[in-house]
Amino acid sequence: MAFPGAKRWLLLGIALAILASYLSPQFNRYYLGVIIDVGIAIILATSLNLINGHTGQFSLGHAGFMAVGGFFSAWVSLHAGASVDAVWYFPLVLIAGGLLAAAVGLLVGVPSLRLRGDYLAIVTLGFGEIIRVVAQNTEAIGAASGLKGIPKLTNLGWTFGFAAISVYAISALVNSTYGRAFIAVHDDEIAAESNGIDTTRTKVIAFVTGAFFAGIAGGLYAHHKQFLSPTGFDWLKSIDIVVMVILGGMGRTAGVIAAAILLTLMPEFLREFSEYRMIIYALLIILLMLLRPAGLFAINLKRRRHS
């Protein structure tokens, strides 16, 4: 059976995340912050991997979905008063943010997923910009100055708990007869259709699922940085996530997680080179692309796809 004992791995991941969050007061605050950044990047990269990697639909709008979830949950937290302190509050608002992002994903996805390749990339790019511009001009969420003073609710437990759930969900989907349709659509849409797969529906489902987790990542991000500015969700942010997926190897979960970790840590390590940082970052990406074009963990053996 494909992907055996999946649920046990999920429980183990969540248990580790909770354990880590109990130990977290002993960590250096800076490192703690970086580790949470890594967890959020893992959610973003694995969820985009479902769309861009497994299903092969090139989306450039992931930061937009992240913004939807982020601004929504941050706004709720700033208006929720005392209930913010309840244990149930944070997961609930995160999931609500995810669902809103998924709904927006459905709205964007249904018309645009009929397009292929470059066209989809352009539409999703445009969508991301629309979200940013709308956020920039909406007084309720602080317009151009953004939202300040968001309560700090994100910790290691929630971040890696949701990271474990997103990795599990996407692996579980792709390793099932139901979800193999994503890969079939990626490989050959015409053959997929003639074998009974509703390609548009499959693409929309991948898109909406990806948007859901991006929304959750946005909520985690908002309650981690405690400050949200619309400019933080521009298309460059989307590109960052796309690079993680490409570098990790489209459709390879383990590789994409590794790339998410690497690309989040790299700018931190390069901090001491201050102004040369982005140049080194760019060079490293170019080098990785040249040396490992099929992804970090690409193995040239007979390949087993999902891992």
**∠230-236-239 over CA atoms, to 5°?**
130
CB of 257 to another protein, least distance (A): 19
Q: Which C-beta is closer to another protein: that of 186 or that of 237?
A: 186
306: exposed, middle or buried (Cβ count in 10 Å: 0-12, 13-18, 19+):
middle
The nearer residue to another protein, 132 or 186, going by C-beta atoms, is: 186
Under the criterion CB under 8 A, does residue 99 sit at the interface with another protein? no
- Does 50 sit near another protein (CB under 8 A)? no
Rounded alpha-carbon distances, angstroms, from residue 262 to 39, 156, 210, 291: 12, 18, 21, 16
Instruction: Give the position of tokens 């959020």.
Output: 40
| Interface with another protein, residue 176, by CB under 8 A | yes
Listed residue (125, 137, 108) closest to 234, CA to CA: 125
Span near another protein by CB under 8 A; candidates 128-136, 154-162, 194-202, 278-286: 194-202
Least Å distance between CB 305 and another protein?
6
In contact, 113 and 57? CB cutoff 8 Å: yes
| Residue among 74 and 183 whose Cβ is closer to another protein | 183
Q: Is 83 in the site for another protein (CB under 8 A)?
A: no
226, 4 Cβ separation under 8 angstroms: no
Q: Which of 29, 79, 271, 302 binds another protein (CB under 8 A)?
A: 302
Under 8 Å between Cβ of 235 and 63: yes
Cβ closest to another protein, residue 194 vs residue 274: 194
HSE-CB for 235 with a 13 A CA cutoff? 13
The span from the CA of 45 to the CA of 245, in Å, is 6
Distance CA(177)–CA(64), nearest Å, equals: 31
Residue found by looking up tokens 């979960």 in the block: 253
State which of residues 38, 135, 184, 204 lies at the interface with another protein (CB under 8 A). Answer: 184
Q: Verify binding: residue 152, another protein, rule CB under 8 A.
A: no
- Establish if 194 lies at the interface with another protein (CB under 8 A): yes
Cite the beta strand spans of 103-252 per DSSP E: none
Counting residues that bind another protein (by CB under 8 A) gives: 34
* 303 is a contact residue toward another protein (CB under 8 A): yes
* Residues of span 202-261 touching another protein by CB under 8 A: 205, 251
* Residue among 142 and 179 whose Cβ is closer to another protein: 179
Q: Tell me the C-alpha distance between 216 and 221, whole Å.
A: 9
Q: Which stretch binds another protein (CB under 8 A): 21-29, 39-47, 70-78, 175-183?
A: 175-183
Question: Could you say whether residue 1 binds another protein (CB under 8 A)?
Answer: yes
Q: For another protein, give the closer residue by CB, 47 or 155.
A: 47
CA end-to-end distance (rounded Å), the chain: 14
190 interacts with another protein by CB under 8 A: yes
- Binding residues for another protein (CB under 8 A): 1-2, 6-7, 169, 172-173, 176-181, 183-184, 186-188, 190-199, 205, 251, 302-305
